[in-house]
Amino acid sequence: MSESVDWLADGCPYSHRFQDRYHSCTGGLVQAVGVFLRGCGLPQGWHGREHFIVLETGFGLGQNFLATWAAWLADPQRCQHLHFVSVEAYPVAAVDLVRAARAAEAGLRDLHTPIAPLAEELASVWQNLSPGVHHFDFLQGRVQLTLAVGDVAQVLPQLDGVADAVFLDGFSPSINPDMWSAATLQAVALLCRPGTTLATYTIARRVRDGLKAAGFSVKKCPGLPPKRDRLEAVFIGSPHSGT
């Protein structure tokens, strides 16, 4: 059964389970581009690459995946193959993926590549999402989505590959602490290489400390309103004390 999504009067999707909005009031697509893509140095980071892997904790309504796919399509210097690997304990219904994409697209008019058609393509294969790992291919396999359905602590160790960029997402540390635990961040680090970039919207002390302990160099950067700051990090492979 799909996770229920409530739609507030202002058009924002809301989780009854976590009692919180799915994304910043600035909009999911704005957050995807401004926090996650920019924070991980994309699209420049995949230039000249054959393969590029993005790891995400918290697929939610798919805004980060769709924004990444759209940025890839719009980039003439894109990598040959884009692989997006994400974890989600409570997948939403396909209709909510599409509704969220249409709402996000309406709020951001300067898109080079519309995301609503991409969301509809995703929705067409978004079914039977039982616990476990699911694989979806788009554009004859040039864009791949691997979705691990289940608790993040349990499914991260089941994943293969080495991430080039990490989108550390999910409901806030105060609401969903397990998503941001030291064990989760250590499991993320095991899927990284020296130089892997990471981005997240939160600057919570426990997250900063957990990332440093897991081998990331961490710095605060200007955030998207109403948040003053966000985090960018780089995996260096050993504990590090940064800003």
What is the rounded distance in angstroms from the CA atom of residue 148 to the CA atom of residue 187?
14
pLDDT per position as a tens digit, 65-76: 999 999 999 999
**Which residues, 6+ apart, have CB-to-CB distance to 1 below 8 Å?**
none
- AA letter at 65: F
Residue 103 tokens read as 């709402």
Residue 68 has what pLDDT? 96
Task: Tell me what the mean pLDDT of segment 35-44 comes to.
Answer: 96
Band (pLDDT 50/70/90 cuts) for residue 243 is very low
Band (pLDDT 50/70/90 cuts) for residue 240 is very low
Task: Tell me what the mean pLDDT of segment 205-216 comes to.
Answer: 96
Res 225 pLDDT > 90: no
Higher pLDDT, 85 or 29: 85
Band (pLDDT 50/70/90 cuts) for residue 53 is very high
Which of 156, 233, 221 lies closest to 194, judged by CA? 233
Residue 16 has what pLDDT? 77
CA 56, 62, 64 angle in degrees (round to 5)?
55
Q: Are 126 and 94 in contact (CB under 8 A)?
A: yes
Task: Tell me what the mean pLDDT of segment 75-80 comes to.
Answer: 97
Band (pLDDT 50/70/90 cuts) for residue 14 is confident
What is the rounded distance in angstroms from the CA atom of residue 107 to the CA atom of residue 27?
7
Q: Are 57 and 85 in contact (CB under 8 A)?
A: no
pTM for this model (two decimals):
0.92
Residue 155 has what pLDDT? 94
Task: Tell me what the mean pLDDT of segment 124-153 comes to.
Answer: 95
What is the rounded distance in angstroms from the CA atom of residue 41 to the CA atom of residue 182?
25
For residue 143, how many C-alpha atoms fall within 13 Å in the half-sphere facing its CB?
15
